[in-house]
């Protein structure tokens, strides 16, 4: 069978298109890696936000779902409150800068957590306290490099590797992120001190919510066990210019703001 040859005019046009297409990897076009990471965090949190999500913790022999209401302000303040099911209702977590408190209504007690607890699992899920709060430790305690640039779905996607700064108080030996040009985080992989993969968070279902495209489903998956994961699905998301300071207090932890 004879192969069809493209006309020289078509070949020339294709070659011209390839040669003149703007490449973000070129000097001056490629963003700084640290800027990409900060952009992703700014995009995820905005100046302030109010949200409601369903968190499903999945294991091979059981599964449970909780509904969480969340308030965030900047990158350092967040309040999480479980509204369902009834047996978990009222449990909350407050983060204000490096300080964190939890509240359990059954014992009616607020407990301050040490910094080491920031990396611990939240309510038995695969998300840590830092993960849920979208803590800025990834910005402040790591250096960043761009390792790869690709196009996915018509968008430039940057693979950024984050390595800890010397003596930084962090748990992960490395993190690797895939960030879209518009700031949407597509994936975040976590590695231990031996650079072995531990877990990976992947985002799905990018739809318009909160006034802009946003991943409506987030899954944190164990690197070794496919049946061990936690999934967040957004019910509601609203970005705001600001929220009152009184929301991010221990009093609000015990008596959350009206929904």
pLDDT of the residue at 192:
95
Q: What is the mean pLDDT of the chain?
A: 87
pLDDT of the residue at 90:
94
SS (H, E, C) 171-216: CCCEEEEEEECCCCEEEEEEECCCCCEEEEEEEEEEEEECCEEEEE
Going by C-alpha positions, the residue among 188, 176, 183 that lies closest to residue 155 is 183
- Residues 18 and 112: their CA atoms lie apart, in Å, by 57
pLDDT digits (tens, 9 = 90+) for 201-227: 999 999 999 999 999 999 999 999 999
Asked if residues 101 and 250 have their Cβ atoms less than 8 Å apart, the reply is yes
pLDDT of the residue at 134:
60
Long-range Cβ contact pairs of 146-154 (< 8 A, separation 24 or more): 146/30, 146/33, 146/36, 147/176, 149/24, 149/25, 149/30, 152/180, 152/186
pLDDT digits (tens, 9 = 90+) for 127-157: 987 777 666 788 989 999 999 999 999 999 9
pLDDT of the residue at 30:
72
pLDDT of the residue at 26:
44
pLDDT of the residue at 145:
98
Going by C-alpha positions, the residue among 108, 72, 104 that lies closest to residue 89 is 104
Radius of gyration of the chain (CA): 21
pLDDT digits (tens, 9 = 90+) for 153-168: 999 999 999 999 998 8
pLDDT of the residue at 7:
46
Query: What pairing do the DSSP bridges indicate for beta strands 212-222 and 92-96?
Result: unpaired
pLDDT of the residue at 177:
98
Q: Which residues of the chain have pLDDT under 70?
A: 1-29, 133-135
pLDDT of the residue at 135:
64
- Residues 206 and 243: their CA atoms lie apart, in Å, by 26
Tokens of 209: 């919510």
């Amino acid at each position: 069978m004879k192969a069809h040859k493209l006309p020289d005019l078509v070949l020339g046009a294709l070659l011209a298109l390839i040669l003149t297409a703007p490449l973000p990897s070129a000097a001056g076009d490629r963003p700084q890696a640290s800027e990409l990471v900060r952009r992703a965090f700014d995009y995820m949190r905005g100046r302030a936000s109010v949200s409601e999500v369903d968190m499903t913790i999945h294991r091979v022999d059981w599964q449970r779902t909780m509904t969480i209401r969340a308030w965030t302000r900047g990158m350092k303040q967040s309040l999480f409150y479980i509204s369902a099911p009834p047996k978990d209702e009222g449990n909350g977590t407050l983060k204000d800068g490096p300080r964190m408190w939890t509240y359990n209504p059954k014992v009616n007690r607020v407990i301050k957590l040490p910094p080491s607890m920031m990396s611990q699992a939240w309510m038995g899920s695969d998300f840590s306290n830092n993960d849920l709060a979208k803590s800025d430790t990834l910005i402040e305690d790591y250096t960043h490099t761009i390792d790869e640039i690709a196009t996915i779905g018509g968008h430039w996607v940057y693979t950024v590797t984050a390595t800890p700064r010397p003596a930084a108080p962090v748990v992960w030996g490395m993190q690797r992120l895939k960030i879209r040009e518009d700031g949407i985080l597509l994936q975040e992989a976590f590695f231990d001190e031996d650079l072995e993969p531990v877990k990976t968070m992947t985002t799905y279902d990018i739809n318009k919510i909160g006034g802009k495209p946003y991943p409506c489903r987030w899954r944190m998956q164990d690197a070794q066990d496919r049946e061990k994961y936690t999934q967040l699905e957004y019910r509601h998301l609203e970005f705001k210019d600001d929220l009152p300071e009184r929301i991010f207090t221990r009093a609000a932890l015990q008596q959350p703001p009206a929904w």
